[in-house]
Homo-oligomer: A and B are copies of this chain.
Amino acid sequence: MKVEFDQSRPIYLQIIEDIKRQIATGVLKPGDKLPSQRDLAVQLQVNANTVQRAYREMELLGIVETLRGQGTFVRAERSIVEETRGDMVSTLVEEFVTAMQALGYDAEAILLHVRQKLADTAGNGGERNGK
């Protein structure tokens, strides 16, 4: 697995975001078992304590559930999955639009840039199945 972490942000937060994304996209489903703290630590080439911290935080967030001696599992009922997904999207869009407006772009200009980027991506093998 890839180990790319943004050097300027806490790793444990990035681990949480990654797992939340996997839950939101259905890669991880309710009831699924997460890798053990030790395993994920090896996989991400990170210290076990860092993974431990990420898992603990997610437990407090109600995203996962821990069974001592057995492992950590995706707790999310349907509603929570969708809520998580919704929250992530809202935050993303919110921050993007705000930042673009702060740079002086109006609605049209923002949409234009997004369309352009999407067109580029579609061209470069970044083919996405249309569902």
Contact = CB atoms under 8 A, between A and B. Distances in A.
A70 interface: no
A24 B117 CA distance: 21
A25 B104 contact: yes
Name A's interface SS.
helix
A21 B101 CA distance: 11
A78 interface: no
B114 A111 contact: yes
Interface residues of A, number: 38
Contacts of A121: 97, 101
Contacts of A111: 111, 114-115, 118
Interface in A63-101: 85, 88-89, 92-94, 96-97, 99-101
B101 A113 contact: no
19 contacts: A8-B10, A8-B13, A24-B104, A25-B103, A26-B104, A85-B103, A88-B103, A92-B100, A93-B114, A93-B117, A96-B96, A96-B114, A101-B121, A101-B126, A101-B128, A106-B130, A107-B118, A107-B128, A110-B114
